[in-house]
Homo-oligomer: A and B are copies of this chain.
Amino acid sequence: QEEIAQSNIDIDHLPSWNDTEAKKNIIAFVEEVTDRNSVNYVEVQDRIATFDNDGTLWTEQPAYFQLLFALDRIKTMAADHPEWKNKQPFKAVLEDDMKTIMASGHKGLAELVMVSHTGITTEEFEKIVQDWIKTSKHPTKNVPYDQLVYQPMLELLEYLRANNFKTFIVSGGGVEFMRAIVQEVYKIPSEQIIGSSIKTEFDYNEGNPVIRRLPEIDFIDDKEGKPVGINKYIGKKPIFSAGNSDGDLQMLQWSASNSKKNFELYIHHTDEVREWAYDKGSPIGGLEKGLEEASKNGWTVVDMKNDWKVIYPFELK
């Protein structure tokens, strides 16, 4: 496989990337660590690449897709909960009052997520998420959510795998929410998707075993939780990691501390026309320390506006 990858060297594996520094850096890194004659050659089993999801592989504006799922789910469930009409934060959800929803803070949002995500079996939850993704559209882009993945990043995932990297998602989002949606679109199997999780319990259920989703946090895969999650699930330090916010900083610090040649990538949202432009101070995907540290350490920063020819796969048509 090593030689196949090498012989493909003249094919452009990243056609949706402009020929700017970001693309050149990525290719130089991959060619170096896969070159058996390089002192920085990395064995196949150590070619671990970890990717944040929201804002790194797909859009996260105007709100995380999982929060939009939670709100849709609350509306569906409302038929069985007439009391929600007069009870916050549910009242605000039913009235599409985003300002009040966000003002309900961590406690309110956590309540909405727990009510919409738990109390059912893992199999039921998977089906609910899959039905939602098939029938829902993004509020401003007006396409199904799973079309809002970044075409250049799909190419990057594929390019790394063609060079025998094992690609993982390491997201602050819920692991079972992502697994229900993104396996096909990213070509990443469920066992390579890591995320935040709630506690679950096995129920023998008189011979029809199920796993029930409980309203209790198990693990938050964000900030310091990302290297902890990588260690827990993968047990190896990545040589490649990509993120878009300060919540990814510790993951990038972790791969940067690899004694093997490594690569750290930040996606900077700079395209207010084709996507969104935000960084410092943004309540979603805030990026400040990460940019400073990228600059200090020579990490590669993607300028979406200038480095990417297209944002979404449907722009290729």
> Footprint of B on A, CB under 8 Å?
45, 122, 166, 175-176, 179, 189-193, 197, 200-202, 204, 208-209, 211, 218, 224-225, 227-228, 231-236, 250, 253-254, 257
Contact = CB atoms under 8 A, between A and B. Distances in A.
A197 B232 contact: yes
A206 to B, nearest CB: 11
A228 B201 contact: yes
Contacts of A257: 208-209
Given A250-B202, A254-B209, A257-B209, A191 B234 contact: yes
Nearest to A234: B191
Q: Which 6 A-B pairs have the closest CB atoms?
A: A190-B235, A202-B224, A191-B234, A202-B227, A209-B257, A179-B235
Contact of A253 (B189, B209, B253): B209
Contacts of A179: 235
B200 A232 contact: yes
Contacts of A209: 227, 250, 253-254, 257
A176 B190 CA distance: 22
A250 B190 contact: no
A200 B175 contact: no
Nearest to A257: B209
A24 to B, nearest CB: 27
Contacts of A166: 191
Contact of A233 (B191, B250, B253): B191
Given A191-B234, A200-B228, A202-B228, 5 more contacts: A122-B231, A191-B191, A202-B227, A204-B250, A209-B253
Given A209-B254, A257-B208, A234 B190 contact: yes
Contacts of A193: 235
Contacts of A250: 202, 204, 209
Given A190-B235, A234-B190, A254 B202 contact: yes
Contacts of A224: 201-202
A235 B189 CA distance: 9
B200 A236 contact: no
A109 B209 CA distance: 32
Contacts of A227: 202, 209, 211
Contact of A189 (B45, B122, B189, B228): B45
A235 B227 CA distance: 20
A178 B176 CA distance: 26
A84 to B, nearest CB: 30
